[in-house]
Amino acid sequence: MTEMLEIDGSIGEGGGQIVRTSLTLSALTGTPIIIRNIRAGRNPPGLKPQHTTAAKAVRSICRGTLEGAEVGSTTLGYTPGKIYGGKYEFNIGTAGSVILLAQTILPILFSASKPSKIEILGGTDVPKAPTYDYFERVFVPALSLFGLKLKCTLDKAGYFPRGGGRITLEVNPGTAQPVSYWPRESHLRAVIALTGLPVGIAMREKKILLTNNIEEVYIRERKALDPGNSLLLYRGLVGASVLGKKGLRAEEVSRVAIASLEEEGDVDVDHLLADQLLIYAALAGKTSFKTSRVSKHTETNMHNIEKFLGKHFSADGSMIKVD
């Protein structure tokens, strides 16, 4: 049996990503893990509902034994079994991000022996997580460059505080292939999503985009339990998402998105996507991409992945490479 790997959940950025990445790679490599000091520097520390749901989702797909998967727990143990593709439903029960949960289980499902269909309930457009539109229009196309096939559908939007959104994933098994060419686009597109709010908010956001020569703008009115607004501005694999909120004028939502995208500059992938693609780059090997900056979150993720896969990342400025 593979020796148990101990993970310090407080190192580096010290957030939930350490838990999610460790669970994913434990399942993929068959490595038993114990994670201690989970989110030690956060208030409150320990697992939140989205983390416990992710842990239980991994166990459902990969079987094995799971200990400590309770809200508030600062220690989590997992010994993986065999991966089983198929039909699953996971309900976070709060506005915790369905996208982060999806990104936890997708590498595992790609390694299954048969296709899978997954439904996830929770928040689709929430703070500190990719929005659904970013996931569909930036992240999924990036996976296709690795040769991985995924279809996603938004059944219902979910905002803070109640969540209640639902997405469906259809995953075909596949092995990540090295990527040597990242297509770049200069054409800007925008998606404005709105629920339970006056459509005039979306029109004000659109007006700012139009005055900045961003003409391909789509407005999507969606159903959800709570009112919400999100804006995605993107060009190819470089995107910026902004959530509307009380006190932030509609015009400012667009201006923040424009400024954020400009900050990314001349790159293959934006700095958030760079982080999200690390597992796939490591699994594929011989892959590199230029991003705008290497965050502490990304550095922590690279360090954690190296422990499991024996691959080596290097970051020369904003160029990330894996052997």
CA dist 140 and 167 (Å) reads 14
Distance CA 169, CA 186 (A): 29
**What's the whole-model pTM score?**
0.97
Ordered mean pLDDT values, 10 residues apiece, the chain (323 residues): 89 93 98 97 94 98 97 98 98 97 98 98 97 98 98 98 98 97 97 97 98 98 98 98 97 98 98 98 98 95 95 94 94
Strands of the sheet with 116-122, listed across from one edge: 87-91, 116-122, 165-171, 150-156
Assess contact for 53 and 118: CB atoms under 8 A. no
Cα Rg, the chain, nearest whole Å: 19
* CA–CA separation, 247 and 270 (whole Å): 27
Question: pLDDT at position 105, please?
Answer: 98
In CATH, the architecture of 84-175+183-262 is: 2-Layer Sandwich (3.30)
Distance, C-alpha 215 to centroid of its chain:
28
The type of residue at 99 is I
Backbone angles phi and psi of 125, in degrees to 5? -140, 90
Q: Which of 51, 187, 271, 297 is catalytic?
A: 297
Strands 238-243 and 228-235 come out as antiparallel
Domain limits of the chain?
A: 1-82, 84-175+183-262, 268-323
pLDDT in the model for residue 2: 75
- Rounded Cα distance between 317 and 291, Å, is 9
Q: What is the pLDDT of residue 1?
A: 58
By C-alpha distance, which of 223, 160, 235 is closest to 191? 235
What is 1-82's CATH number?
Answer: 3.30.110
The pLDDT of residue 143 is 98
Please confirm whether the linkage preceding 115 is cis (ω < 30° from 0): no
Tokens of 138: 């930036």
Is 187 among the residues known to form the active site?
no
Residue 78: both structure tokens together: 């997992």
Q: Which strands sit side by side in the sheet containing 319-322, from one edge to the other?
A: 287-290, 319-322, 313-316
Q: Quick one: tokens of 182?
A: 């990242």
